[in-house]
Chains A and B, each alone.
Chain A
Amino acid sequence: MMRIRHLLAASVIAAGGSALEAQTSAGLDSATMNAIAPIIQRARASNLPLDLLYTRARQGQVQRLPASRIEVAVRNYAERLETAQAALAPNPTTPELKAGVDALQTGVPRETLSEMRRAAKEGSLAVPLGILTTLVARGVSVEKASVQVVALLQQGASPAHFIALDQRVQADVLAGRRPDESLDLRLKGIFPNLPQSVNAGDAATLQAGGTKRPR
């Protein structure tokens, strides 16, 4: 069995894949490899990071799910990955792409990803996107969470600000507060401390703008 996997890894390299790709695909069985081979081929042509797709496949395999189900999951992932790559251009990092895919999967629109890229300037979006995904998963509406995360980035919020926000919202939700209400409340404690903090009136306007969509 191990020999077959090594042969498959060698064939990946021979087919034009990188050593990293061979490494991440090494644990996949032949049935899974065959099922996802066309998806991998298209992804390679689109210059997508293949290690993320192999990782997605291994996630299914380690849970002993059938190859057909893994194929569907990898195909969906590849589509979201392509969307994230375009939305987070130019030069998104692998952690950003992975976070972007997760955000798209929870229903965050691709326009939000692009807006976040513009707002973040040189900073990484891995944590802000992860927190956006988590906020939506906690029950905050996608629109409100998107607007506020973009506003935080525009005012220079660091990854630590996002994590602090998420921790407070989590505590509030566990205590019984509505997620949207908690986000509004906790932003009042974050916005005034940001590097490019606007005055109180503008901050209130930003926070009240939860129903607007990002540009």
Chain B
Amino acid sequence: MRDDRDELLDRIVGELKVLPAVPADATARVLARVDAARRGQAPAAEADDDDVIFFPTATDEMQTVPAASRPPSGTPVDAGAGRGGWRRRFVVSIPVAIGYALAATVAGFLIRGAMPRSGGDATVAKEQQTQTDARAVPVTAVSGLTPREYQEAPVAVQFVLDAQRAKRVALVGDFNAWAADSMPLVRDSATGVWSTVVNVTPGRHVYAFVVDGEVWTLDPRAPKTKDADYGTEQSVLIVGLR
């Protein structure tokens, strides 16, 4: 007697059939290699080109490289080269290699100058690198601006509103003195999305969209705040990645 569970099992079996085929002796071969590794011996003779089946999702490059010829991590490019495609892929001429080395050295100095000094988790370090880049560039010296003027130079910000049925949309905010007629958004005919790009000085700003000249609309992509004096809500924008 078949029921829902039987159908589910049939579907699972069907899904399993599409997985890469694994030889029947695969388990025995893996155990033999582990055992050999534990004894400190070289892989057995059967570790031939077809043992890459244990990387079913690997790239084509990995699948064409015999396991025995793959250099261990940290090995110089030529040191582990053996038979097969690995060596062919990474052979370079000496002049080209010198060029690469010089380029890498220069790049290393440039990157080092932009790296954070120390510490932090990986995510933090990556973000700090971007920030330090901005700080390392002596733009003020080139432009003649004071640090304060440089940090307050306007930044281009894109505003987007998905208002399919709107006939017109305007941007109002403290950066345009809440002038409803000064910053109209343009509708993209393909997507129906309204957008505009505005230069805004760094800092915290509040804004809203005015749809069809009368509907006060908040930006669904931005946090909102309530104005204590007016009692109304506005969207909040923080500008200043410099």
Question: Which residues of A come within 8 Å of B, CB atoms?
Answer: 24, 27, 51, 54-55, 58-63, 65, 69, 72-73, 76-77, 93, 95, 98-99, 102, 105, 122-124, 126-127, 129-131, 133-134, 137, 158-164, 166, 170, 189-190, 192-193, 195, 197
Are A127 and B151 in touch, CB under 8 angstroms? yes
Are A99 and B204 in touch, CB under 8 angstroms? yes
B192 / chain A contacts, CB cutoff of 8 Å: none
Are B117 and A63 in touch, CB under 8 angstroms? no
CB within 8 Å of A: which B91-142 residues: 116-121, 124-125, 127-128, 130-132, 134-135
Known: A72-B229, A131-B238, A164-B131. A189 touches B117 (CB 8 A): no
* New A-B pairs, 8, CB < 8 Å, besides A76-B229, A130-B240, A159-B151: A59-B227, A63-B232, A126-B152, A126-B203, A160-B242, A161-B128, A164-B131, A192-B120
**Residue from the list A72, A93, A137 in contact with B225, Cβ < 8 A:** A137
Query: Which of B13-21, B55-63, B75-83, B171-179 lies at the interface?
Result: B171-179
Chain B: interface size category: 35 or more
Known: A63-B230, A69-B230, A129-B203. A55 touches B127 (CB 8 A): no
Are B120 and A189 in touch, CB under 8 angstroms? yes
Question: Which residues of B come within 8 Å of A, CB atoms?
Answer: 116-121, 124-125, 127-128, 130-132, 134-135, 146-148, 151-152, 172, 174, 177-180, 201-204, 210, 216, 223, 225, 227-230, 232, 236, 238-242
The A/B interface has a contact count, at CB < 8 Å, of 132
A98 to B202, CA, bound (A): 11
Are B203 and A127 in touch, CB under 8 angstroms? yes
**Of B204, B216, B240, which is in contact with the most chain A CB atoms at under 10 Å from its CB?**
B204
Give 10 CB contacts A-B under 8 Å.
A27-B178, A55-B178, A93-B152, A126-B201, A131-B204, A159-B240, A160-B240, A192-B118, A193-B116, A195-B135
